[in-house]
Structure 1
Amino acid sequence: MDLILAAVIFIVSYFFIMTDRINRAVIALCGGTLLLLTGVYTTRDMFMNYIDWHTIALLFSMMLLISITEKTGLFTFIAIRFSQKVKGDPIHLLIGCSILTAVGSALLDNVTTVLIFVPIILKITKMLKLPSFPYLLAIIFSSNIGGAATLIGDPPNIMIGQAVEQLTFLSFLVHLAPLAILMFFIMLAMIFLIFNRVLRNQHREIKELMEINAHSHLIKSPMLYKSITVLLMTMLGFLLHTIIHMELTVIALSGAILLLLLTEKELATEQIFEKVEWVTLFFFIGLFTLVGGLQEVGIIDQLARGIVLSTDSDYAKTSLLVLWISGIFSGIVDNIPFVAAMIPVVQEFKSYGMDNLDPIWWSLALGACLGGNGTLVGASANVVVAGLAEGAGEKIPFIRFMIYGVPLVILSLTISSVYIFFRYLLPYT
């Protein structure tokens, strides 16, 4: 009975999450509460075994750091100055916003990055009378590809990094960044070929852009220098955490608390906490409880056994199957809930004699991050961009996005298959 209850609650919850008719966090929390009410698991099991508080604390800490730094106007200043440097050239602007988004998504996280850049690019395209769709499309694709390069760039990577101790910040850079860079240039070439003629034929209005005083957006106060210093220290800590023997969560939390203390007199703490994406955090909490229900009744074990049996425990087949399954399903449902469900599945592979799971972890990370480009609900960054655009009167049509997103995902998974096979799987064949 518990198995049926957990499965039904999971499926119904995910249906409503996919349709986005009701707030995702509310749906996820309702699902978790129903699992408690029906006795699938106890409150102690939910809080002690299934909610990953390390991931929640890491996300919370990064949100605090970015919220304080954003108050200094640093991110707005960078975006405006770059636009002025390219003198409003549509193609240079497209390339520039893609690069800034990809780099920002790798070093910060893709949701935060798009929150910073989308309002700026919408304002610039409006001033220059340029179509916003190509730029929004490039930002979404760049955020997911750039986020795939590092441990903190995309929520799925954060979740995988927290679940697997040996996969460090440097490990993600070494193993995933090369492919992410390759895919970024391929994506950029694709966007250029598709929209080059459209953008070149647009009449440009650069006078208003060039008259913007970028420095007026930059608040040159001690808070600016404190924010930059602490943010750089935190990033350095991420890179060196295996050497200094400190967890990523501790580093991020320390940086956030330090910056809160340093800026307490300049910026009210209440204002910073108001800027935290609480909906996202509670969505994660609800999500962990939903997946916990599947773990509790053994559905996760059955799924893991099914994948292993279908591939005869073959490393190459299993890794590539995980890559394509994660890529396809991450486009259909959000890649965050999919990875949350798949992490215990991959961990279960060890019980079937598969000791070296690293190739499978990289396959899961690549499939989830790159597969998120398939639809507007494929990744959290996509949903954020769509919401910001709609609020500005520039709605992104779901089907139109898929026309560009699905081919990119198929190409990404094909290239990733070749990369995974020759870099990791060839010895096993």
Structure 2
Amino acid sequence: MAAVAAISIFVVAYVLIATEKIHRTAVALGGAALMLLLHITDAEAAFFSEETGVDWNVIFLLLGMMVIVSVLRQTGIFEYVAIWAAKRSRGKPYRLMVLLVVITAVASALLDNVTTVLLIAPVTFLVCERLGLKVVPYLIAEVMASNIGGAATLVGDPPNIIIASRADLSFNDFLVHMAPMVVVLMIVFCLLCRWLFRGAFTYDPDRVAEVMELEEKEAITDRRLLIQSLAVLGLVVAAFVLHPVLHYEPAIVALLGAGLLVAATKVTTEQALEEVEWPTLVFFAGLFVMVGALVETGVIGDISKAAAEATEGRLGAATMLLLWASAGLSAIVDNIPYVATMSPIVGDLATQAGPDGQVLWWALAFGADLGGNATAIGASANVVVLGIAARNGHPISFWTFTKYGLIVTVITIGLTAPYLWLRYL
């Protein structure tokens, strides 16, 4: 009975989010409240459980990085990068998109994808404003590139960290097995952008001429604050990369960096907090409670087990089913709780399959990471970008994102399937 109620609440909430009849933050809060009101979940499971509760690491990672980005914005660095990017691309819209997409993908492999989009989005707004371009296609392309690029490394996407911990995989394992295919997918994605966003590539010679005459160095308004901010950001990035050695969670690193930046500079607390996307953080909290209720009632686990049993021990079939099922489910629920739920099942299957069973872990990673591109709520980075876009007066609807996301997901997963088959099976 609890499972039926949980599914019903989640489906209704998902439909409301998709149709945008009610603001997604209100829907997420309402759905979470109903889960608690009907005792489908409780306070202990919703707020304190690692498996079924709010992922506070994600919430506070976002909060810390939003504060750092807020301080960085006051230095003029985003204007500097925007002018630099526009001049390097000579104002050509498609060339500019490729440049921003590649920067995003590379950064997402070193940072987590949410941090990357928080840093690249302000640049995108500025450069598109300078060149008179529609900003929405660029934002969508960047967030998809962040999800693809993040798949390349252990630290690039949160599901990879969960998989690495469960399967005892190293940073180098991900570089060897995931990164080569990610490079191929990024090349295909850059070519795909030319077709997907062809209506956005309008060229205004007058605006381009104005931008080419600008001197990017003049955009920096506070060099001292810039040096302080970049120093702190550099420490934060280094701590992210050295997580296996330092054992500090990314959320702790981000909060320490934000606190250090506010304490060591002349920026006031009010200025540091003015760019924080509070509705996005609250939306995440509500979504985590709803998905956690599905996990707690066994809904996600039952779906995963049924998929595993359907393969009847055939490694090739299990790999393909896991890849496509992970992509499909990660499009509907956030890929973090999905991977956390699926990992024990994949571990059992991999153990039964022997040394060749490691391919199942790569199928899970590719499916969860790339499947996050399919819908507007499939990955944390998607939700963050939608929140930033709405805040800046360029709202991206659920279906606007999803109509592009589904195409990208089907193509990238379709290319990954033969890669896994030919390399491992």
TM-score by length of 2: 0.81
In structure 1, the residue matched to 2:31 is 31
Seen in structure 2, the aligned counterparts of structure 1 residues 300 and 90 have a Cα distance that, compared at 3 Å, is: closer
Q: CA deviation at 1:7?
A: 2.2
Say whether 1:346 aligns with 2:343: yes
Structure 1 spans left out of the alignment, 5+ residues: none
- How far apart, CA to CA, are the structure 1 residues paired with 2:23 and 2:316? 39
* Contact kept in structure 2, 1:129 and 1:203, CA below 8 Å: no
User: Cα RMSD (Å) of the superposition?
Assistant: 3.7
Q: Secondary structure at the match of 1:181?
A: helix
Structure 1: how far apart are the matches of 2:391 and 2:69?
A: 22
1:181 maps onto 2:183 in alignment? yes
Report the Cα offset of residue 228 of structure 1.
1.2
1:319·1:359 contact (CA, 8 Å) conserved in 2? yes
Matches within 5 A, 1:186-265: 186-192=188-194, 203=205, 205-263=207-265
- Residue matched to 1:418: 418
Cα deviation digits, residues 343-375 of structure 1 (max 9, x gap):
313334446684788644433332233234445
Structure 2 CA distance, aligned partners of 1:244 and 1:108?
16
Distance (whole Å) between structure 2 residues aligned to residue 172 and residue 361 of structure 1: 10
CA contact 1:169–1:239 (8 Å) conserved in 2: no
> What is the alpha-carbon distance in structure 2 between the residues aligned to residue 29 and residue 396 of structure 1?
21
Q: Is the 8 A contact 1:54 1:162 kept in 2?
A: no
Contact 2:346 2:360 in 1 (8 A): no
Aligned-residue offset at 1:18: 2.8
Choose 125-134 or 251-260, whichever is displaced more: 125-134
* Superposed displacement of residue 230, structure 1: 1.8
- Give, as a single letter, the amino acid of the residue that structure 2 aligns with 1:420: L
Tell me how far 1:391 sits from its aligned partner: 8.1
Counterparts of residues 386-401 of structure 1 (less than 5 Å): none
Shift of 1:199: 5.2
SS in 2 for 1:21: coil
> Which letter maps to 1:96?
L
Which whole-Å CA distance do the structure 2 matches of 1:95 and 1:213 have between them? 23
Query: Aligned-pair distance for 1:73?
Result: 2.4
Residue 20 of structure 1: aligned partner: 20
Contact 2:277–2:388 (CA under 8 A) maintained in structure 1: no
The amino acid of 2:279's aligned partner reads V
SS across alignment from 1:307: helix
Q: Is the 8 A contact 1:111 1:381 kept in 2?
A: yes
Separation in 1, partners of 2:382, 2:328: 16
Deviations 1:328-347 (A, max 9, x none): 3445x3x62x5424531333
Helix, strand or coil at the partner of 1:275:
coil
Q: Gaps spanning 5+ residues in structure 2: where?
A: none
1:67 has 2:70 as partner = yes
Give the equivalent residue in structure 2 for 1:302: 302
- Would the alpha carbon gap of residues 269 and 35 (structure 1) be closer, same or farther in structure 2, given more than 3 Å must change? same
Aligned: 1:56 with 2:37:
no
Distance 1:393 1:294, change over 3 A: closer
> Does the 8 A contact of 1:163 with 1:343 survive in 2?
no
Deviation string 1:102-147 (CA, Å, 9 cap, x unpaired) is 2344344545544554565455456545666764554344233223
Among 104, 110, 113, the residue aligned to 1:101: 104
Using the aligned pairs only, state the percent identity.
37
TM-score (norm 1): 0.80
- Of stretches 352-361 and 183-192 in structure 1, the one that deviates more from structure 2 is 352-361
Contact 2:280 2:387 in 1 (8 A): no
* 8 A contact 1:55–1:162 mirrored in 2: no
Aligned-pair distance for 1:184?
0.9
In the alignment, the residues of structure 1 paired with residue 90 and residue 187 of structure 2 have an alpha-carbon distance, to the nearest angstrom, of 23
Q: What corresponds to 1:275 in structure 2? A: 275
* Helix, strand or coil at the partner of 2:260: helix
Change (3 A) 1:130 1:382: same
Matched with 2:95 is 92
TM-aligned CA deviation for residue 325 of structure 1: 1.9
Distance 1:164 1:410 in 2: 27
Q: Which AA in structure 1 matches 2:95? A: H
Residue 412 of structure 1 and its aligned partner are, at CA, apart by: 0.9
Q: Which residue of 2 aligns with 1:42?
A: 42
SS, match of residue 206 in structure 1: helix
Q: Is the 8 Å Cα contact of residues 18 and 398 (structure 2) preserved in structure 1?
A: no
* AA partner of residue 87 (structure 2): Q
Counterpart of 2:343, as a letter, is V
Cα gap change, 1:317/1:60 in structure 2, threshold over 3 Å: closer, same or farther? farther
Q: Which of 142, 149, 152 is matched with 2:152 structurally? A: 149
CA deviation profile, 1:162-198 (whole Å, cap 9, x unmatched): 9748466665545433322221112113334777899
Q: Is the 8 A contact 1:102 1:142 kept in 2?
A: yes
* Cα distance in 2 for residues equivalent to 1:198 and 1:293: 41
